[in-house]
Amino acid sequence: MYKVDKEVVFVFGFKTHFGGGQSTGFGLIYDSTDASNKFEPKHRLVRHGLKQAPKTSRKQRKERKNREKKVRGANKHGDRKK
């Protein structure tokens, strides 16, 4: 349909319709890979294979989550939520 490289076409948000055989979704076509790298969210670039996902261990992710829970809602003076 469009004569562009597959690296500049991003499709997402598909919904399947009851009965099968038809789906609807959303797609974006960029002028270049530079434009797609500039405007696309990082998670879509990772899915598309244009960027690498950060490799952190599960324990590090959990520790970071729990540290962020402690400061969420704290005011600017550094008071912790109790």
pLDDT per residue over 26-44, tens digit each? 999 999 999 999 999 999 9
Query: How crowded is residue 16: how many other Cβ atoms within 10 Å of its Cβ?
Result: 11
Domain CATH code at residue 10: 3.30.70.3370
Q: For the chain, what is the domain count?
A: 1
The answer to whether the predicted template modeling score (pTM) of the entire model surpasses 0.75 is no
Q: Which residue has the tokens 């002028």?
A: 31
Q: Round to whole Å and give the CA distance between 26 and 46.
A: 18
**Residue 61 belongs to domain spanning:** 6-71
Report yes or no on 1 lying in a domain: no
Task: With CA atoms as reference, report the closest residue to 12 among 24, 3, 22.
Answer: 24
The pLDDT value given to residue 8:
93
Report yes or no on 25 lying in a domain: yes
Q: Indicate whether 67 pLDDT > 60.
A: yes
The pLDDT value given to residue 11:
94
